[in-house]
C-alpha cells in the first residue's frame, strides 16, 4: 500500500516538471479538469470548441482534443466508452486523474468546483449560459 502512495507521489512531483516541457500534459490536465467539473460541479458544462481552440493555441496536432477525450472516457469507464490511446497519452491521463483527485480531496469538492470557475474560465460555463 505504501508503495502505491510513493509511486503516486513521485508521479505528482514529476508531473509539473514534465508539463513545462510537454504542453500536451498541461492540456490533458485542463481537459480532464473540465470534464470532472462537468460531472462533479452542479450546473457546469464544458465548452468543447474552446477546448479545441486551446489545443490550437498550444500548437498541438489536430485531433488532440478528441484523442484526449476518448482516453479520459476509456480510463474512467474501465474501457466501456472512449478508446484506449497510445501509452504516453494514457499515462498523462493517469497522472492528471491522480492530481485532480488529490486536489478534490485536499480542497473539498465545493471549494474545488469554485476554484475551477476561475482556473478553467472559457473552457467551462454554467449550464444554460
pLDDT digits (tens, 9 = 90+) for 77-113: 999 999 999 999 999 999 999 999 999 999 999 999 9
pLDDT band at 16; cut points 50, 70, 90: very low
pLDDT of residue 32: 96
pLDDT band at 21; cut points 50, 70, 90: low
Smallest Cα–Cα separation from 34: which of 95, 106, 119, 101? 119
For cell 498550444, the residue is 58
The cell numbers describing 92, all together, are 498523462
The arithmetic mean of pLDDT across residues 29-33, rounded, is 96
The arithmetic mean of pLDDT across residues 57-78, rounded, is 96
* pTM, rounded to two decimals: 0.80
Amino acid at each position: 500500500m505504501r508503495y502505491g502512495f510513493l509511486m503516486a507521489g513521485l508521479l505528482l512531483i514529476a508531473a509539473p516538471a514534465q508539463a513545462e516541457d510537454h504542453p500536451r500534459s498541461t492540456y490533458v490536465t485542463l481537459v480532464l479538469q473540465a470534464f470532472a467539473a462537468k460531472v462533479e460541479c452542479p450546473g457546469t458544462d464544458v465548452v468543447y470548441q474552446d477546448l479545441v481552440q486551446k489545443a490550437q493555441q498550444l500548437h498541438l496536432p489536430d485531433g488532440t482534443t478528441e484523442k484526449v477525450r476518448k482516453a479520459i472516457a476509456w480510463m474512467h469507464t474501465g474501457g466501456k466508452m472512449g478508446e484506449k490511446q497510445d501509452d504516453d497519452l494514457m499515462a498523462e491521463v493517469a497522472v492528471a486523474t491522480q492530481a485532480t483527485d488529490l486536489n478534490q480531496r485536499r480542497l473539498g469538492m465545493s471549494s474545488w468546483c469554485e476554484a475551477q470557475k476561475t482556473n478553467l474560465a472559457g473552457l467551462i460555463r454554467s449550464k444554460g449560459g
